[in-house]
Amino acid sequence: MNLRVRSALIIFLVVILDRVSKLYIRASFAPWDVAVVIPRVFNIVHAENPGAAFSMLAEAPPFVRAVLLIGVSMGVMTIVGVMLWRLPKNAGGLMFASLALVFGGAFGNLWDRVFRGSVTDFLQVFIGSYEFPAFNVADSAITIGASLLLLNLARNRKSAP
């Protein structure tokens, strides 16, 4: 399968999984409801985040927050989209997949910001006494894509002459 087609498929799947999961959470859980899945390890919650990662800018005026967050999201998507389009076919599937994951995740969260004004988060993870901020499928795709991108760049740097 063509790598660009595969990238488009990854983007589509991330966006669909993100949309369906957020719609389910909003329909099934009241805001701030918590369902313990694995005690002290993993919960399903319903959190609405008007800000960026870790609720940054959540207290900023709504217009400023919207302009900054939507603008940054569109900028990231533009850069990643251009990178995806310009990648040579011999760049490898890992590079295409990692960029597609980042693009799909950014699109999923941008959708929420544009149409709802906040992003629905619902996955809550604990490691010992540390509680990660709630996140969603789009955040997971961005994190996995960025990690794979760094791994691919490190691997290619080691193999360079």
Among candidate residues 100, 105, 106, the one with its CA nearest the CA of residue 137: 105
CB half-sphere exposure, 121, CA atoms < 13 A: 21
Active site includes 139? yes
DSSP characters for 33-70? -EEEEETTTEEEEEEEE-SSGGGTTTTS-HHHHHHHHH
Active site includes 112? no
Give residue for tokens 């369906």: 20
Q: Please check whether residue 95 is in contact with residue 149, taking contact to mean a CB–CB distance below 8 angstroms.
A: yes
Catalytic choice (18, 33, 112, 121) = 121
The residues that are catalytic are: 121, 139
